[in-house]
Amino acid sequence: MKKLLICALLLLCASQSALGGAGREALEKFSQGLETLEARFEQAVLDTQNNRQGLLHGVFLLKRPDRFRWDYVSPESRHIIADGRDLWVVEDDLNHVTRFYQKLALKGSPARLLLGTDSLDKEFNIVELGERQGLQWLELSPKDKDRDILRVLVAFKGDQLLKLELTDQFGQISRFSFFEIKRNPKLDDSLFAYDPPGDWDVLNQQN
């Protein structure tokens, strides 16, 4: 489960033909003026045969340029918190926390799309996929072939990111749908801070 949550986040951020296209314009519209974001999400996990293996629900919070949190509320309570320096994966039921160095953990991940800190063209090849289901779609593939993620699909409507699909190197797919989206709500800094309880196990990863 922990591996799934990490992949959901890190898998959870161009060719010349992409420049000036409707999908790229939608991405720029989404990013323009975005400082904070709050949304509920549903995540479907599919195996290599496209069979659904799980369905998760939660809340996503973003505070640019370098903070976010994913709170999974069902079927289990899990939290992924980026405080600007460290990335925390919190497993409440196991009294266990894994800490990553955020900058290294997010390298080559679609979290760059959400944070808006760097040009996506540096780390991804971006291809326009056109309009489907009333949404503008883009495909992102990491230039670094050592990344866990093989392909990222994103879909926009207006200035809203509504769909995110991640395919890993083993063919597993995570599909996110976002709803009840709020752009630039007031979010307190304390929401993105984390201090593990003293009696919990903390695993420090070097990425």
Spans of all domains in the chain: 2-204
Query: Is the pLDDT confidence value at 141 over 90?
Result: no
Residue 185 CA from chain centroid, whole number: 19
d(CA 43, CA 61): 15
> pTM of the predicted model, to two decimals?
0.83
Query: Is the pLDDT confidence value at 151 over 80?
Result: yes
In what helix (H) or strand (E) does residue 30 lie, and over which residues does it extend? Answer: helix 22-31
Summarize the confidence of residues 157-168 as an average pLDDT: 92
Q: How confident is the model at residue 20 (pLDDT cuts 50, 70, 90)?
A: low
Strand, coil or helix: 150:
strand
| C-beta separation of 17 from 128 below 8 A | yes
Question: Which structure tokens are listed for 141?
Answer: 């593939």
**Tokens 């973003």 identify what position?**
62
Of 9-18, 47-56, 79-88, 170-179, the least confident: 9-18
Q: How confident is the model at residue 112 (pLDDT cuts 50, 70, 90)?
A: low
Strand, coil or helix: 41:
strand
| C-beta separation of 82 from 67 below 8 A | yes
Examine residue 65 and say whether the peptide bond preceding it is cis (omega within 30 degrees of 0). Answer: yes
The beta strands (E) that lie in the chain are given as 36-46, 52-63, 67-74, 78-82, 86-91, 96-101, 124-132, 135-142, 149-157, 160-168, 173-183, 201-204
The pLDDT score that the predictor gives to residue 120 is 75
User: Which residue, 21, 20, 19, is CA-closest to 137?
Assistant: 21
Question: Which structure tokens are listed for 196?
Answer: 């593990």
In CATH, the architecture of 2-204 is Clam (2.50)
The pLDDT score that the predictor gives to residue 91 is 92
The pLDDT score that the predictor gives to residue 11 is 43
| C-beta separation of 112 from 103 below 8 A | no
Higher confidence at residue 32 or residue 206?
Answer: 32
Q: Is 66 exposed, middle or buried (0-12, 13-18, 19+ CB in 10 A)?
A: middle
d(CA 197, CA 94): 12
